[in-house]
């Protein structure tokens, strides 16, 4: 039987060795590390505890666009914090919904206060390309004060209840369901 996306846990698909940096690292050195490692972010760790994340967007918005000198700015001054994380035993579907609603492309994976991985959109795309599309549509529907589209055809993808592919997923109580599960949900 085909495994449902909602039954796949973050620890099964996460990148196990995220690239890290210290808060005192300069933005210049951090950018060089990101380039050398071919990554779009660095998790900022202090005393083995993740405290923030430096993303490409942080570099553009908080350094380049502000005309700051990357060699003089410390990562701790421009990193995104507080850090939004996910646990290793959370479902990938739930993590993808969180990423979508917060407009994030990556979530550090933390267990008992320690960084053990990072979940990125690319990790999710490897297991379910439609999940990213579904969660983005879900976020549009669940936008500020919006109830439009609830119960209407919104996306194609895998039903979060039965795991079957459907070209007419519908949202009900925060879940993307095929027509059969939507009707049975009551």
First to last CA, the chain: 26
**What is the tens place of the pLDDT at every residue in 143-178?**
544 333 334 445 556 677 777 766 677 777 767 777
pLDDT above 70 (res 5): no
What pLDDT score was predicted for residue 136?
60
What pLDDT digit, counting tens, does each position of 70-87 carry?
999 999 999 998 889 999
What angle do helix axes 129-141 and 92-101 make, rounded to 10 degrees? 50
Per-residue model confidence (pLDDT) at position 13: 92
Burial class, 98, CB count within 10 angstroms (exposed 0-12 / middle 13-18 / buried 19+): middle
Q: Which two tokens stand for residue 104?
A: 């994030």
Q: Is the pLDDT of residue 15 over 70?
A: yes
Neighbour order of strands in the sheet with 175-177: 155-158, 165-172, 175-177
pLDDT at residue 44 in the model? 97
Whether this prediction's pTM lies above 0.75 is answered by no
φ/ψ of residue 9, rounded to 5: -95, 155
Show me where the domains of the chain are located.
Answer: 5-126, 128-185
CA angle 42, 46, 52 (to 5 degrees): 45
Q: Are 154 and 138 in contact (CB under 8 A)?
A: yes
Give the pLDDT of residue 14.
95
| pLDDT at residue number 9 | 92
Token pair listed for 36: 């050398």
CB 113 within 8 A of CB 49: yes
Q: What's the CATH architecture for 5-126?
A: Roll (3.10)
């Amino acid at each position: 039987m085909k495994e449902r996306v909602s039954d796949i846990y973050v620890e099964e698909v996460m990148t196990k060795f995220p690239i890290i940096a210290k808060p005192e690292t300069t933005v210049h050195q951090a950018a060089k590390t990101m380039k050398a490692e071919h990554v779009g972010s660095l998790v900022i760790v202090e005393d083995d505890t993740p405290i923030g994340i430096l993303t490409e967007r942080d570099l553009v918005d908080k350094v380049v666009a502000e005309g700051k000198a990357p060699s003089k700015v410390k990562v701790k001054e421009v990193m995104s914090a507080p850090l939004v994380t996910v646990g290793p035993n959370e479902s990938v579907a739930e993590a993808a919904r969180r990423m979508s609603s917060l407009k994030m492309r990556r979530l550090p994976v933390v267990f008992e206060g320690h960084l053990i991985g990072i979940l990125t959109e690319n990790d999710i795309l490897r297991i379910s390309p439609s999940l990213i599309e579904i969660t983005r549509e879900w976020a549009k529907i669940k936008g500020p004060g919006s109830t439009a589209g609830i119960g209407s055809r919104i996306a194609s993808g895998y039903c979060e209840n039965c795991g079957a592919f459907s070209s007419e997923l519908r949202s009900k109580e925060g879940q993307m369901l095929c027509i059969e599960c939507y009707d049975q949900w009551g």
